[in-house]
Amino acid sequence: MASFDLDQLKAFVAVADAGSISAGAAQVFRSQSAISEQLQKLERAAGAVLLLRSRQGVAPTAAGQRLLAHARQLLALGELALHDVRRELRRTDLRLGISDYYRPDEIAGLLRHLARHCPQLRLQVALGTSAAIARGHAEGAYDVALIMQVESTATRAAGAGAPLRREALAWVAAAGLDLRAEEELPLVLLPPDCALHRLAVERLRKHRSACRLAHQASGVAGLQAALRAGLGVGCLNASAIGDGLAVAQSPRLPALPGCSFRLILPSPGANAALREAGAALHAYFA
């Protein structure tokens, strides 16, 4: 089975971080010619140019940027494996809050991945509305928080980095649901502290579309079930539109903005293990 050589990846990361082959060679205590040979072998294995060379130094190509993220994870995992075998692995408790809207059908797989690739983490995971998760992080209940924000109205949460993922928002209902006979659009939403609840009601009022709350769910799974049952129309991000649901089309439904998911990392004053865990989560989500 084809794979990458860890020594070559280590050389690649060192050179990419240092900005030149000579500086990268010094970081890994190898000669410049030896590092150049490692990089050539790595590019042959990848089948792509990974670094652009100029008088100013080196910079990763698009392919190099993609490999760089994988290389950091592979090197970190190799280090963890070595510490684990030597029984030197230090466990880190990490309290993770995740927006209920974030890829709801993939959360189990995400947690399995983290458990497998970040064995030093002892995860405590909570799902909830972005408002509750962000508030919990601010109050110290979570070390890392993944929240959703509506792009047209949101201000960046304190400590949140660049968006990890952008998605469209859409009006959603059971496939084939006919709303033409409804004088008031029946809404299926989460509680009022949910950003999408407020967005849906506000947009419909501005659009002068009469509406009523037909069902209030406690979580996205319950909201999806109510929508599949034909109880009304709701507002969901693209990755939360599951089987049996479809984008609702009606002149009574106004246009919606997009949304973004952001990761709020541990504060700079947090211990090193938590900061490293936050960086590992950022690399995974990104």
Q: What is the pLDDT along the chain (286 residues), one digit of tens a residue?
A: 578 888 999 999 999 988 888 888 888 888 889 999 999 999 999 999 999 988 888 999 999 999 998 888 888 777 777 766 765 556 778 899 999 898 877 777 777 777 766 667 788 889 988 888 989 988 989 998 999 999 865 455 555 566 788 999 999 999 989 988 899 999 999 999 899 999 999 999 999 999 999 999 999 999 999 999 999 999 999 999 988 999 998 999 999 999 999 988 887 777 777 777 777 777 777 6
The pLDDT of residue 76: 79
The pLDDT of residue 252: 94
The pLDDT of residue 141: 92
Pairing between β-strand 92-99 and β-strand 211-216 as defined by DSSP bridges: unpaired
The pLDDT of residue 83: 65
**SS3 labels along 234-285:** EEEEHHHCCCCEEECCCCCCCCCCEEEEEEECCCCCCCHHHHHHHHHHHHHH
The pLDDT of residue 283: 73
The pLDDT of residue 12: 92
Helix, strand, or coil (residue 6): helix
The pLDDT of residue 232: 96
The pLDDT of residue 86: 63
The pLDDT of residue 241: 93
**Of the candidates 217, 215, 216, 199, which has an alpha carbon nearest to the alpha carbon of residue 207?**
199
Q: Where are the beta strands (DSSP E) in 29-111?
A: 51-54, 57-60, 92-99
The pLDDT of residue 226: 96
Distance of CA 269 to the CA centre of its chain: 23
CB burial of 179-218 (b: ≥16 within 10 Å; e: otherwise) equals beebeebbbbbbeeebbbbbbbbebbeeeeeebeebbbbe
